Amino acid sequence: MFFTIKRYTGPDQAPFQPARWQYHGTTRVPHSGRRDRKGTLYRKMENGGGSVHSITCGLLCTDFPLGVLSQIITLSDLECDYINARACCSKLNKWVIPEMVGQCLSTMLMLVSMHWFTFFLNLPVAAWNIYRYVKVPLGNMGVFDPTEIHNRGQLKSHMKEAMIKLGYHLLCFFIYLYSMILALIND
């Protein structure tokens, strides 16, 4: 995805328009890889058996980086003018609630299973997601509002937020992976 971003920012890098409009309108399919990955992971875990908590968390957490990744791609599409604000926001808003619910769920699981370290790791992010959702003004069409997204650098801050989340989720992913393997071995 880093590629994508690099490639499309800066219209001046595309001396000839064709590149621009050819891509225009075609929706990229960032999700295509997800199922496979998820499936693979799932199978692995089944094979291993092991701690329910770890597995569920692992499940949830693998999805996050991918979700965030697609978010970043969508945002960078908007930045480069490949999709319009309305399409972009409706796409992104769809994921706000699932993300929030998933995050809360995994936080709860950690709490229930008394994995304190991971619980505290998850808590701030879950809190932020809830806060962000609750704070949406009444008249806005969701966390991402097509009429606002180009104003006051919102696009930038959304992008920054997505980047940070991506880093965070990758970190979590490895932590979970580590603990899962550990759990499997211990079993």
Stretch that binds another protein, among 35-43, 46-54, 56-64, 80-88 (CB under 8 A): 80-88
- Rule CB under 8 A: is residue 33 a binding residue for another protein? no
- CB-CB contact of 113 with 105 (8 Å): no
- Rule CB under 8 A: is residue 85 a binding residue for another protein? yes
CB of 61 to another protein, least distance (A): 30
Say how many residues touch another protein, by CB under 8 A: 38
> Which residues are CB-neighbours of 77 under 8 A, at least 6 positions away?
8, 28, 83, 88
- CB-CB contact of 30 with 70 (8 Å): yes
In angstroms, the CA 58 to CA 55 distance is 5
- Rule CB under 8 A: is residue 151 a binding residue for another protein? yes
CB of 143 to another protein, least distance (A): 12
- Rule CB under 8 A: is residue 96 a binding residue for another protein? no
Stretch that binds another protein, among 15-23, 100-108, 164-172, 176-184 (CB under 8 A): 15-23
Choice from 46, 52, 97, 157 touching another protein (CB under 8 A): 157
Angle subtended at Cα 58 by Cα 106 and Cα 159, rounded to the nearest 5 degrees: 70
Choice from 43, 132, 147, 174 touching another protein (CB under 8 A): 147
Check residue 29 and give left, alpha or beta (phi > 0: left; psi -120 to 50: alpha): beta
Of 93, 181, 73, the C-alpha closest to 140 is: 93
Contact residues: another protein, CB under 8 A: 8-12, 14-18, 20-22, 24-25, 78-81, 84-86, 137-141, 146-147, 149-157
